[in-house]
Structure 1
Amino acid sequence: MNYENQQVISIAKLYIVPTPIGNYGDITQRALNILKKVHWVAAEDTRRTGVLFKYFGIKARFFSLHNYNEQQKIDQLITKLKYGQSIALVSNAGTPLINDPGYHLVNRCREIGIQVIPLPGACAAITALCASGISSDRFCYEGFLPVKKKSRQSKLTSLLEEPRTLIFYESTHRLVDSLRDIVEVMGKDRYVVLARELTKTWENIHGASVKTLLEWVLEKDIRHRGESVLIIKGYKATNTSSIVEGMRTFILLKKELPFKKAVTLAAKIHSIKKNILYKYALEHI
């Protein structure tokens, strides 16, 4: 028996159903079967999901569930489940809950014993990682970087020495600013892959040192349009002896210079990234 083609829809269950991130051909047969048979579809944007459903000839009863109403609407959905109605949770694109609403609903269902059935499917972060050429055995998904520069740099600084591959989503309007902050915080040589408009007509995956990547993006407007994923190579520790020597120089310079100036000069003398020496100095002074 082909399980996917014989999918039985069970009552009083919540199905987490991924939808395509661009190419409609990426939806699974199992997802289509479930979406056609559930009693309700809880959608982040019913109009956007409606376009997808019209393409596949799916008629559904929609329930709007997004970041701004999720906690207020949970009880209504739970009531439907308790009355034996099945619900499919979908987001605008990709796998629900990955930087999209649904966590609170899933958490409540599990607390009260309603079965949650997840389906595998499209996810921009994983799709980009697979094509990046950067180590994929250990990675951190960090969602979107903060909107404000100070918070964004603070976030990047906290991940400066993270050895695992880093994955971020970024918007059209903040991509250039984020790349500039990566240059400033992580250094111009950190290797970054930009994957934009994945599975769509203008899909593009480009990797380089972050300074070179920034210059490449700035060459053409189209290179920072659309939905983007940033894959950042994990931190590789600097030779400890270099840091020790840098600290010795820093301590001598600090007697005559302000803290930041002393760090900057010591880092330059010993070819150490300024942010690494700065953090080390704060922890050891």
Structure 2
Amino acid sequence: MSKPDANNPFAITANEIRGRKVERFIRFITLGMTWALILPVLFILGFLLIKAWPALSVGFIFDNPEKNMTAGGIWGPLIGTFMLIIVSLLIAAPIGILAGVYLNEFARDNWFTRFINLAVVNLAGVPSIVHGLFGLGAFVYFFQMQRSLLAASCTVAVMTLPVIITSTKEALASVPQPFRVACWNMGASKWQTIRTIVLPNSISGILTGVILQVARAAGETAPILFTGAMISSRIADSGWASMVPYGLEDRFMALSYHLYIISTQWQNVPESFKFGTAIVMIGLVIAVNSISIGFRIYLRSRKKW
């Protein structure tokens, strides 16, 4: 072990020099791993944008597919995807958040609670195609919803519940326990404490699960394939809003399913249409996520701790 210079006790020792070299090396490695994560994403987005550029226009967004999907745009699939996100969110968010509140704030640590937590973890690992078959049997046939926007939204909601429940539990657990104790000592009930102290201070974390739900709902194909999504070749001259669902009982078009069909089942579809659909789907997810993240950052900035 090297010793400091007697004439200059503040001189850098060999151990300190070695430590700085190790620190620079670790910083270089972590920076490299960060760029290794970012560069593929930028490459994919750039590649898709270049391929999609010939098709991108206002008409591509606001026109329905025409001429056996070889012309027109993606208005019907875009609106169908947006409605799928909204309806599935309205179903999954309240159930997931309330379930997370119960498991973290009310449930006792016993075998039943541990069984529920294990079930939530296992549900998160179920493949989406299995969720689709479950939705077909449960919502389409058993509850007689038929193939519709409602059946597809319920299926997607079930699939995204584990993420919302888990993020809610983690967000609630991050609130310091003294906050709860102080509120109880002032005479507040448990529910009053949760409603006025715990939930407002954990809402930014809860939004994380909601954001992930939105992204997954927009990109899933298998669940809606069995429960409500459709593709149609009869919309050449049927009007601007012909493929927009007007009710929960209607079938709908979706960007993910539309992209799957025109890429694998339909002939003579321009390549730019396929990549354009992918770019719009990614853009929709990024836009919704950006709004949610901005709102989450705003709420987090209002925290006093």
- TM-score of the two chains, using structure 1 as the length reference: 0.21
| Structure with larger Rg | 2
* Structure with the largest fraction of strand: 1
Q: Which has the larger helix fraction?
A: 2
- Structure with more contact order per residue of length (Cα contacts < 8 Å, sep ≥ 6): 2
